[in-house]
Chain A
Amino acid sequence: MLPPASGTGIYTSVSPKVIRLLRQGCTNRPFFHVVVAVNRAHQSRPVIEQVGSYDPMPNRHDEKLVALNFERIRFWIGNGAEVSKPVAQLLGLAGFYPVHPTSYLQAWKTREKMEEKNEEKSN
């Protein structure tokens, strides 16, 4: 029996909360839960709530699957939860948040690499 997505973590109204990724999965197979947790809590501690999941390994259709519970994310951000960078990137790509600058940087790098490859091919 796994802990429920509603979470079992203890928190107070004033404890600083953060929406962050929590690495599940196993060796060589990353899988992340998007969770609301107390800022200082270790990743092994029970979370306050799970608000989504993220599978960083592309599936056979070349998709990285993300599930987000926007209703709860809205609630938690509205109640002062911070958002970690990776989650902010995901939210930006989902169109919930503004697109994160690092997403642009990554896109530039990828584009450069692709152009280099294409040039090599053409040469």
Chain B
Amino acid sequence: MLRIINNFNFLRISATEAISYSTSSNTLPYNPALLPVKKSHRKPRWVPIAKSKIFRIPKRPVIPEDETREIRRLFNDYRNHEKSVKNFLVEKHNTKNQASLDPEEILKSFKQDLAVCHEINNKWNKENKILREKRLAEELERDIAFAKNRIEQEIIKEQELFEFTEELVRKEKEASVNFITKENIDDAIDKALAEAVDYNFAIDLNGEKIIGRNTKPVQEQDKISLKQ
């Protein structure tokens, strides 16, 4: 698609038009940024010499005789060397000098290449295998150490929890001595009835507490000061 757009640009045909000529189904949206701008790097032919430059005579460079000879020699040598390099490259890389397009030979060379690739790949695999095994062993060691550490921590945690629960149970057991059970419930009821406790009290004008529902305030020993 890009090829079509770029090359139709030369004929001054818009990209959208160019796309319309193509048989390909994937269409690019028109984007002027895709198109190279044709810019001239010199002035047009019909523009005359600038007036200020009409009578300007460029100064000829003065090169000494021996230097000229040296430069000529350099260029001659360069051309020779260049030619030889080019010829070498033509001999080696020109498509006309390439090996025949016999499919069997191509397949053969491909297989040879593949064998070399396999060899290299196997070598790398071997190297990597050593590294991988080493790394895996290290990782396993690390994981085992981590797991052991975790197990120890879990044991300590469990121990602490066990001790905590034990403490709770012990305290409860100590407290349960005075609990009322099925066996001693009758005694407890009898005792409670026998020792009735009266929590009622009244406060007189002086702020003094008078304990008991039916107590009379005159009795001296029942007076208890709130300020105490």
Contacts and interface: CB of A to CB of B under 8 A. Distances in A.
Interface of A: 1, 3-4, 8-10, 42-46, 74-75, 77-80, 88, 97-101, 104-105
Q: Please report whether the interface of chain A is mostly helix, strand, loop or mixed according to DSSP.
A: loop
Contacts of A99: 78
Nearest to B88: A78
A8 B3 contact: yes
A84 to B, nearest CB: 13
A1 B74 contact: no
Contacts of B94: 78-80
20 contacts: A1-B2, A3-B2, A44-B37, A44-B39, A46-B3, A46-B6, A74-B93, A75-B93, A77-B85, A77-B86, A77-B89, A78-B89, A78-B90, A78-B93, A79-B90, A80-B94, A98-B81, A98-B85, A101-B74, A101-B78
Interface residues of B, number: 28
Contacts of B10: 45
B34 A97 contact: no
Contact of A44 (B3, B7, B38, B90): B38
A40 B34 CA distance: 22
Interface of B: 2-3, 6-7, 10, 31, 34, 36-39, 41, 71, 74-75, 77-78, 81-82, 85-86, 89-95
